[in-house]
Amino acid sequence: MSQTTPFDMPPVEPPSFPDRTIDIRDFGAVGDGTAVNTQAFRRAIEACHEKGGGVVRVPAGAWMTGPIHLRSRVNLHLERGALVRFSTRFADYLPVVFTRWEGIECHNYSPLIYAQDCGHIAVTGEGTFDGQGEAWWHWKHLQQEAAGTLYDSEFNGIPMEERIYGTEEAALRPQFLQPIDCRNVLIEGVTFLNGPMWTIHPVYCENVLIRGVTVKTKGPNTDGLNPDSCRNVIVENCAFSTGDDCIAINSGMNEDGWRVRKPCENVVIRNCHMSEGHGGVVIGSGMSGGIRNVYVHDCAFTGGDRGIRLKSMRGRGGVVENVHFENIRMAGIREEAIVLDMFYGSTTVNPRSSVAPLFHNIRIRNITCEGAGIAVRIRGLPEQRIRDIVIENVRVNAIKGIHCQDIDDLTLKRVGGVVTEAPPFTCSNVRGLNIEDMDLEQGGPG
């Protein structure tokens, strides 16, 4: 697959599968919307894998099931009219599996669709997965004790093998689709509705291609896509309307992210549409393993809280570097169109340390936004400034203008727009400020 990136990145090709098709109905599946087909899915996938791989066909119909576990060389293909609806019986997602929950390794309920240590896997087609996540969403208000223990587990010396959850008392919700430690992954064409928590969550994967996917979620923390400590990822022609961030790039949380030491790198996001969410394309806040070589271009953000968002805080550590946003059109953004903020205030659990993260070498070019609460906000830490930022050819009409603080080497070139409230531009504790052709006016409504 051809691609042009501002950094060296190998091509990401789709996985290959033998010319073999297995139908889930041949293993007892019944698509009447009530029969439970967990074992039929399992047997069909196992049979396909044991024969050397191929396509597991899910024809039109309503297929109720528990968790689906993929195997190497298997393409789970939903034909048009296929609706796979997942059980709301929590015990169906046991026994626990190895996972990463909000950036920390543990054992928890199985994700609805799961694969571990697989090569050449795919989820494709024109059908729909319905996670029925409403059954799980109230756990958001019950999870705090277990989340606190998990977040502090590495700090307190609790080894990963002893971090076992998967109970209603712990209330840690599973992800919708999670391949972990997999290579050559394709997710194409399908629609995901309302999972328990994060929707598409590849972890420790290499060569991941996500294209033509639609994600529609409404519940708490129901991010659309979270590439997590992955390498060589392409996301294209996808649509997101989510209950949290549309796309959030991550690499582990705090001490556990430092232990694992796996960055997320070589990520391309292009030709995607974000219509609702807390952020359009987001980096962080779980970026403790490092994030580098990210290229986001030719996307549209038409609604949501924020557009381009990089977020972190004291205690995360890690480095975010070599990030490029280009050719992005925004409208109707409720808060910041562009925000780089080291004072993230919505973490599930506060860090135990104060190790500062570092953001540097970030390029944001050719951006328009018609309507935002704030045009641009950049806040570094006094002890760890954000460094080497270029914002070029950007025009935002907003209520508030541009605010920058604690930055080294900031270039604002051909930046303009109309803002409602004065002052249109404020700057505090910025060294190496270079302004060229700024045309930021105070005027009518943003």
Instruction: Spot the catalytic one: 107, 201, 278, 403.
Output: 278
Nearest CA-CA partner of 253 in 151, 160, 342: 151
In sequence order, the 6+-apart residues with CB closer than 8 A to the CB of 305 are 277, 278, 279, 333, 334, 335
Amino acid, single-letter form, for residue 436? E
Residue that the structure tokens 């669709």 belong to: 113
**Known active-site residue 201:** no
At 122, which helix (H) or strand (E)?
strand 119-125
Neighbours of 422 (CB within 10 A): 10
Residue that the structure tokens 């505090």 belong to: 428
Number of H helices, E strands in the chain: 4, 30
Question: Which of the 8 DSSP states describes residue 13?
Answer: P
In sequence order, the 6+-apart residues with CB closer than 8 A to the CB of 192 are 128, 129, 131, 176, 177, 199, 200, 213, 214, 215, 216, 217
What six digits make up the tokens of 370? 């018609």
Nearest CA-CA partner of 277 in 240, 310, 251: 240
Instruction: Spot the catalytic one: 152, 223, 228, 244.
Output: 244
Q: In 32-180, which ranges are continuous DSSP H helix? A: 38-50, 134-137, 144-151
Instruction: Say how far apart CA 337 and CA 281 lie, in whole Å.
Output: 11
Report the C-alpha dihedral over residues 77, 131, 68, 164, rounded to 10 degrees.
150
**Known active-site residue 278:** yes
Catalytic residue set: 244, 278
